[in-house]
Amino acid sequence: MRVVEITEPGGPHVLHVVEAPEPQPGPGQVQIEVAGAGVNRADLMQRSGLYPPPPGAPPWPGLEVSGVVTRVGAPGPAASVAGTAPQWSVGDEVCALLAGGGYAERVVVGAELVLPVPRGVDLVDAAGLPEAVATIASNLVAAHLAEGENVLIRGGSGGVGSIGVQLVHALGHRVLSTAGGPARVRRVRDLGADVVLDHRSDDLVAQVRRATDGHGVDVLLDVLGAGGLADNLAMLADDGRLVVLGLQQGARGTLDLGLLLARRASVLATALRSRPAHQKAAIMTDVRERLWPMVADGRIRPVVHARLPLAQAGAAHTLLDSGEVFGKLVLVP
């Protein structure tokens, strides 16, 4: 089968399609013929040599796929918190969360990390859902989001942010988000955000304070990292929680502990890829039971900027790095 290999750490030019043995499902696993593979910023970091795959994962990138079940392994130990892994059959249309290896024609994955593609959701575009939904869901749980609290999502036009806006809106919370420029502001508002702030104009902290009547935000989901740290703390409400999802503007910054103490605020950080198998299974069980009905009824939909052939993985990485993508890019084998 064809996969996208990283020949050496570097730019998009190091991505090349090569032949690799087809993976075979072990106990408790399924094999999926890939219809689409989501492209994430974690893939760019892996390509650059900054985010190696966890032990046991294939060396090529790709954290989520959609496709059709082609083989089912022997029954294995249940890894879901419900006590029984979901059952899949050959021919099922699914999407899945992976530890790596999605840039390929076939993948194998534990049955507990697989979700059905609901009727009405395009099979290829469904590849843009698992990573983002699981990331947002797990971080809202970590932040102890409570009824009546508001949420600010920085980067509502991104792959994770565009799903996050829809998900938090569907859960009934007031959603604030940021985007760059009037056109992207309008599109994020159309996803369900109550307030969308243009981070290219005016002072963002002042905008948030005005939009919340001086209260600030209770939970802030951030993909910028160090570059957004000072503003993020200034935008928090008392007892607010800053949740770091990404490091697009750096990994090291200065933290004002005095402000943190005065606000009784918290800074949280999580990573999905490196979690133990039982934690991932618990997250996906929560997604399947609590949030996936929102995908089935249309409250959450994949937001796909473009589809590109698998052989153009390098071009996809260049496009994602440009900052012009709205939502996700999907590679099609």
**How far is Cα 31 from Cα 114, in angstroms, rounded to an integer?**
11
> What per-residue confidence (pLDDT) applies to 80?
43
> Which tokens go with 31?
């094999």
CATH fold of the domain at 133-269:
Rossmann fold (3.40.50)
CA dihedral 8→66→307→327, nearest 10 degrees, is -90
Residues 6+ positions from 45 with CB-CB distance below 8 Å: 51
- 238-272 pLDDT per residue, tens: 999 999 998 888 889 888 999 999 999 999 998 89
At CB < 8 A and 24+ separation, what contacts does 210-219 make?
211/176, 212/150, 212/176, 212/237, 215/150, 216/240, 217/150, 217/151, 217/152, 217/176, 218/145, 218/146, 218/149, 218/150, 218/151, 219/140, 219/143, 219/145, 219/149, 219/150, 219/151, 219/152, 219/243
In SS3 terms, 177-245 reads as: EEECCHHHHHHHHHCCCCEEEECCCCCHHHHHHHHCCCCCEEEEEECCHHHHHHHHHHHEEEEEEEEEC
Nearest to 121 by CA among 292, 285, 286, 280: 292
Beta bridge partners of 201: none
The model carries a pTM of 0.94
Q: At what angle do helices 182-190 and 159-170 cross, to 10 degrees?
A: 40
**How far is Cα 83 from Cα 18, in angstroms, rounded to an integer?**
39
> What per-residue confidence (pLDDT) applies to 132?
97
> What per-residue confidence (pLDDT) applies to 77?
63
- 168-190 pLDDT per residue, tens: 999 999 999 999 999 999 999 99
CATH fold of the domain at 2-129+273-332:
Quinone Oxidoreductase; Chain A, domain 1 (3.90.180)
Residues 6+ positions from 285 with CB-CB distance below 8 Å: 80, 81, 82, 112
Chain center to CA of 255: 26
User: pLDDT tens, position by position, for the chain (333 residues)?
Assistant: 999 999 999 999 999 999 999 999 999 999 999 999 999 999 999 999 999 999 999 999 999 999 999 999 998 764 444 446 789 999 999 999 999 999 999 999 999 999 999 999 999 999 999 999 999 999 999 999 999 999 999 999 999 999 999 999 999 999 999 999 999 999 999 999 999 999 888 799 999 999 999 999 999 999 988 788 999 999 999 999 999 998 888 889 888 999 999 999 999 998 899 999 999 999 999 999 999 999 999 999 999 999 999 999 999 999 999 999 999 999 999
Domains 2-129+273-332 and 133-269 equal at CATH topology level: no
Domain boundaries, the chain: 2-129+273-332, 133-269
Other CB atoms within a 10 A radius of the CB of residue 147 amount to 7
Other CB atoms within a 10 A radius of the CB of residue 108 amount to 20
